[in-house]
Amino acid sequence: MIVIEGLHKSFDSHSVLKGVEFHIDRGDSAAIIGRSGCGKSVLLKLIIGLIRPDRGEVRIGGKIINDLSERELMTIRRKFGMVFQGAALFDSLTVAENIGFVLSREKTLTPGAISRKVDQALEMVELHGTRDKKPAELSGGMRKRVGLARALVYEPEIILYDEPTTGLDPVVADSIDKLIQKVSRQLEITSVAVTHDMRTAGRVGQKILMLHNGIIYIQGDADKLFKSTDPVVHRFVNGISDPKDATFKN
Ligand X SMILES: Nc1ncnc2c1ncn2[C@@H]1O[C@H](COP(=O)(O)OP(=O)(O)O)[C@@H](O)[C@H]1O
Q: Report whether 191 contacts 30 (CB < 8 A).
A: yes
Q: What is the secondary structure of 171-238 as a DSSP string?
A: HHHHHHHHHHHHHHHHHT-EEEEEES-HHHHHHH-SEEEEEETTEEEEEE-HHHHHH---HHHHHHHH
Task: Cite the DSSP H helix spans in 37-169.
Answer: 40-47, 70-77, 95-106, 111-124, 140-152
Q: Report, in Å, the least distance between residue 206 CB and Mg ion.
A: 22
Site string for Mg ion, 40-79 (x = CB under 5 A): xx--------------------------------------
With CB under 5 to 8 Å by kind, the binding choice for 6 among ligand X, Mg ion, none is none
Q: Which distant-in-sequence residues (6+ apart) come within 8 Å of 233 by Cβ?
A: 210, 217, 218, 225
Closest residue by beta carbon to Mg ion: 41
Rounded CA separation 81/5 (Å)? 22
With CB under 5 to 8 Å by kind, the binding choice for 16 among ligand X, Mg ion, none is ligand X
Residues contacting Mg ion: total by CB under 5 A:
2
Site string for ligand X, 18-57 (x = CB under 6 A): ----------------x-xxxxxxx---------------
Q: How many CB atoms lie within 10 A of CB 199?
A: 16
Task: Find the part of the chain contacting Mg ion (CB under 5 A) among 37-45, 118-126, 165-173, 225-233.
Answer: 37-45
Residues comprising the chain, all counted: 250
Nearer to Mg ion, 41 or 219 (CB): 41
Q: Report, in Å, the least distance between residue 80 CB and ligand X.
A: 17
Rounded CA separation 164/197 (Å)? 10
Answer yes or no whether residue 193 interacts with ligand X by CB under 6 A. no
* Chain residues 213-242 in contact with ligand X, contact rule CB under 6 A: none
With CB under 5 to 8 Å by kind, the binding choice for 37 among ligand X, Mg ion, none is ligand X
Q: Report, in Å, the least distance between residue 177 CB and Mg ion.
A: 18
Q: Report, in Å, the least distance between residue 215 CB and ligand X.
A: 14
* Residue among 1, 59, 56, 63 at smallest CA distance from 27: 1
Nearer to ligand X, 89 or 210 (CB): 210
Tell me which residues touch ligand X (CB under 6 A): 11, 16, 34, 36-42
Residues of this chain that bind Mg ion (CB under 5 A): 40-41
